[in-house]
Structure 1
Amino acid sequence: MTSRGPATELSRDEARYIAIAAALPADGFPTVTAALAHLHIVQLDGISTLARAHQLTLTARVPESTITTVDDSLNNSSLPIAFDYPAHALSLVPITDWPLWAFRRRATRRHPQYPDRHARSALLDQITREGPLPIRRLRGDTESGAGWDWGPAKTAVEMLLWAGELASTRRNAGRRLFDLAERCLPAEYLTDQKSDDACLSQLLGHAGQALGVATADDLADYLRIPTPVTARLLPATRLTPVRVPGWEPAWADPDALARMPQPRRDPVFLGPFDNLIWHRPRVQRLFGFTQVLEAYKPAARRQHGYYVCPLLADGRLIGRADLARRGETLTILQAGLEPGPGPDAAHHFAHACRTLAAATGRSHVAFGTDATDPATAATLKSALDDVL
């Protein structure tokens, strides 16, 4: 265990600023590869009413990028830059991190649903013969095509992906392609030599870099590992202990502490699967903001809408909007501002709409019917007219 000095004291504002700057540096990243290398995990999701989850996360961090250029970077580079893996749910993970997920590959091979020798051979032989294949070609005609329906073939494919025998590094028309890991990954990364603790200690350092400042629970959630395991290993990581009023013991990235940043300058809508807001207790602790994902609820039970994006501005979450692409238009289906958002809230909302419209390739922004109360709608529409 490394000897450490007294824990650094941080105010709640300082902790919030550090967290924002770690997740969304003010100047962004020059490339998708660089953004991935910093975050280490970018969550995937199939909902596309606005854009795919990874597209929103990455366009928010790579200036002037669009959902098209993001996917071009992921699918058309000479060498793959990321692979799909159940890191934090199903996620994009940088190719260079493959050795660090050996702990989860080993655990998968002990999983009760790990396919038997005959099932493995059948799938691996088919892919060996035919090349990279989408799941519909591997599951055959007897299983449903619904993404939530895990029949025997889909379960076997996913288990082989988790175990590292298969890998998915490219997509065709948005569909994952499954290939032999040794055929689509650089040989230098194809190793399971690191021990579980060595993998997890390094990954916790990565999570701390992406979060800036975090509790053990926050760090555990980032990697989807048990909090007691995280607490045991934290003293062996590069992270340093800090104290924040009202938090349980916390840890910070040393580089983030050295910078002590100011809030992000440009307002931005965050996709509901964005790294900064995916852990709801942390969002409440940092922002006093209740983050909810209502896309999977029946419509009658939704309070804020189907695909709701919180608005980050001036170091706070000041509002949210249910957003969708409708033809060439970014449509605001429902919108609201938090109490006391400040005099610039409408301008921030409009600026973030303009940025998001450009990122998603939309040429217009419009309000849907009854998107918000008349007074707020008039204020927001006026601000939109000023910036568009």
Structure 2
Amino acid sequence: MTAGPDPQVELSLAEARDLAIAASLPADGFPDVTAALAHMHIVQLDSISTLARAHQLTLTTRIPDTTTTTIDQTLYDGTEPVAFDYPAHALALVPLADWPLWAFRRRASRRRPQYPDQQTRAALLDRITTEGPLPLRRLREGTAAGAGWTWGPVKTAVEFLLWSGDLASHRRIGGQRLFDLAERCIPDEHLNDDLTDDECLTQLLTHAGTALGVATVDDLGDYIRIPTSLAARLLPGTDLTPVRVQDWGTAWAAGEALTRPTRRFPEPVFLGPFDNLIWHRPRVQRLFGFTQTFEAYKPAARRIHGYYVCPLLAEGRLIGRADFARSAGTLTILKVSFEPGTGPDTPTHFATACRSLAAATTQTRIELAENTAEPAITGLLRTTLALNGANSQTNR
């Protein structure tokens, strides 16, 4: 798809797909949150909690025998911070050691017209200096909040102070970010803007390539949200290797991805809608022939698959998807669809992944809502869920 250096390695689409899955979802997982973040470098955050928070789903998928509760305990209840919030892809968790690499975005934020004026900056920073870390609701007490999806003046100022590095956030209270002075959040050894923009981006693109395994220039630019043209200029200076992928043209791969044996993720798994493997929709289509959508912000009547839909990964393919909700210890399957041409093992894969999702989100029961799928699929799921988990129950 993108012209570039003459590659010496050629990959089939199947090989590229296996490399991508192995990089994003290592077969043995990660031992803890710190290790997962050190490999992925960016884990997206989102406020929707119908099933769980976005970062919780992403991390429980990759860390064996963990739950959404233990993820947040590690992130927010420990004595030492693990990550900070930053608009890296979208708003995301970023490991503390990566603070210097985002200097390019901090500098750019200070040049944008939305960056608060000196008086506004001083007022907010003085208050936080005096009172300590504060959530947004406290910072905008007595001021006008934005209407609808608009931010309002205080939120706009606070977000740009976060983007510029004047403020930072690595703790939460009641689910709300606490904003504090960057020098009180980021360890001294990381608190600097010493790298040039090109040095920052070259390292970040190398990180993106390692996290993706194999990717086009467009994929790599999307991972850190920079223009494709900028990524293309800098990629020859990274540690990534140019390769040729069937139907893609020139792409880039992490060297270790090409040399280590490829092992598939062993169990079927539901991916949260903000999972790193499915961030970039053109890449999902290229790798899997799967059309990834997120319909939570559409009117209900316009949704095809549902509100909070998770794709099902099994045997190296995306074979279906389901809309989930949770309440009072019950994981409810609201709607299910399987991809064309899926095999007879699909209901079993679905049930196995449901059990894992229920355990990760600390739900003790699994239920099928009315009209979950066409009758034949619903019947198969009822049977398979009953056979694959003593704690699973279904509405009949």
Deviation for aligned residue 1:147: 8.0
Report 1:253-292 matches (<5 A): 253-292=254-293
CA displacement at 1:185 relative to structure 2: 1.3
Q: Is the contact made by 1:330 and 1:362 (CA closer than 8 Å) also made in structure 2?
A: yes
For this pair of structures, how many residues does the alignment match? Answer: 385
> Any conservation in 1 of the 2:7–2:250 contact (CA below 8 Å)?
no
State the Cα distance separating 1:278 from its structure 2 match: 1.0
What are the equivalent positions in structure 2 for 1:343-382 lying under 5 Å apart? Answer: 343-382=344-383
Seen in structure 2, the aligned counterparts of structure 1 residues 185 and 49 have a Cα distance that, compared at 3 Å, is same
Once the two structures are TM-superposed, the CA of residue 152 in structure 1 deviates from its matched residue by 0.9
Q: Which residue of 2 aligns with 1:189?
A: 190
Equivalent residue, structure 1, for 2:204: 203
CA distance in 2, matches of 1:244, 1:120: 49
> What is the RMSD of the two structures over their aligned residues, measured on CA atoms?
1.2
What is the CA–CA distance in structure 1 between the aligned matches of 2:97 and 2:199, rounded to whole Å? 15
1:260 to partner: Cα distance = 4.2
**Shift in alpha-carbon separation, 1:202–1:29, aligned structure 2, 3 A:** same
- 2:294 aligned partner: 293
Alignment of 1:108-257 (within 5 A): 108-144=109-145, 148-257=149-258
Give TM-score, length-normalised by structure 2: 0.95
Distance in 2 (CA, whole Å) between partners of 1:144 and 1:121 is 20
AA at the equivalent of 2:313: L
Is the 8 Å Cα contact of residues 26 and 263 (structure 2) preserved in structure 1?
no
CA distance in 2, matches of 1:242, 1:77: 42
Match of 1:27 in 2: 28
8 Å Cα contact 2:242-2:253 kept in structure 1: yes
Looking at structure 1, the residues matched to 104 and 364 of structure 2 have their Cα atoms a distance apart, in angstroms, of: 46
Measure, in 2, the Cα distance between the counterparts of 1:107 and 1:93: 18
- Letter in structure 2 aligned against 1:118: Q
Residues in 1 aligned to 2:365 and 2:27: alpha-carbon distance in whole angstroms: 26
Residue 322 of structure 2: SS of its match in structure 1? strand
Aligned residue for 1:177, secondary structure, equals strand
The CA distance in 1 between the partners of 2:21 and 2:214, in whole Å, is 10
Query: How far did residue 373 of structure 1 move?
Result: 1.0
Give the distance between the partners of 1:184 and 1:95, measured in 2 at CA: 9
Q: CA deviation at 1:248?
A: 3.5
State the SS of the aligned residue for 2:93.
Answer: strand
Q: Is 1:94 aligned with 2:95?
A: yes
Secondary structure of 1:191's aligned partner: coil
- Quote the Cα distance in structure 1 between the aligned partners of 2:278 and 2:70: 24
Amino acid at match of 2:227: P
Q: Deviations over 1:24-81 (max 9, x none)?
A: 0111000011111110000010100000000000000000110000000000122111
Letter matched to residue 370 of structure 1: N
Distance 2:132 2:7 in 1: 56
- Structure 1 CA distance, aligned partners of 2:68 and 2:246? 39
Task: Read off the aligned partner of 2:321 and give its amino acid letter.
Answer: R
What is the letter of the counterpart of residue 90 of structure 2?
A: A
Aligned residues with identical type, % of pairs: 67
Q: Distance in 2 between matches of 1:192 and 1:301?
A: 46
Flag structure 2 segments of 5+ consecutive residues without an equivalent: 390-396
What secondary structure is seen at the aligned counterpart in 1 of 2:233?
helix
Q: Please give the alpha-carbon distance, in whole angstroms, between the structure 2 residues aligned to 1:148 and 1:130.
A: 28
Q: Aligned to 1:366, what secondary structure does the other structure show?
A: strand
Matched residues in 1 for 2:47 and 2:249: separation? 35
- The answer (yes or no) to whether the contact 2:145–2:154 under 8 Å persists in 1 is no
d(CA) in 1 for partners of 2:83, 2:11: 35
Tell me how far apart the structure 2 counterparts of residues 6 and 149 of structure 1 sit (CA, whole Å).
46
Task: Deviation per CA, 1:54-110: give whole Å up to 9, x if none.
Answer: 000000000011000000000012211100000001000000000000000000110
Q: Deviations over 1:127-182 (max 9, x none)?
A: 00110000011122322377833111111100000000100001111110000000
Q: Which runs of 5+ in 1 are unaligned?
A: none
Question: Do the aligned residues in 2 keep the contact of 1:74 with 1:80 (CA within 8 Å)?
Answer: yes
The residue aligned with 1:68 is 69
CA contact (8 A) 1:128 1:180 kept: yes
- The whole-number CA distance in structure 2 between the counterparts of 1:126 and 1:369 is 52
Note the C-alpha offset of 1:340.
1.6
Q: Distance in 1 between matches of 2:187 and 2:361?
A: 32
Shift of 1:327: 1.4
- CA shift, 1:335, in A, is 0.5
Verify: 1:10 aligned to 2:11, yes or no. Answer: yes
Kept in 1: contact 2:26–2:264 (CA 8 A)? no
Q: Which amino acid aligns with 1:257?
A: L
Give the counterpart letter for 2:112 in structure 1.
H
Amino acid in structure 1 at the alignment position of 2:129: T
For the 8 Å contact 2:125–2:181, the answer to whether it is kept is: yes
Q: Kindly tell me: are residues 257 and 147 of structure 1, through their superposed partners in 2, closer, same or farther at Cα, counting changes over 3 Å?
A: farther
* 1:55–1:209 CA distance, 2 compared to 1 (3 A): same
Q: What is the CA-CA distance between 1:14 and the residue it aligns to?
A: 0.3
TM value normalised by structure 1 = 0.97
Aligned equivalents of 1:135, 1:315: Cα separation in 2? 42
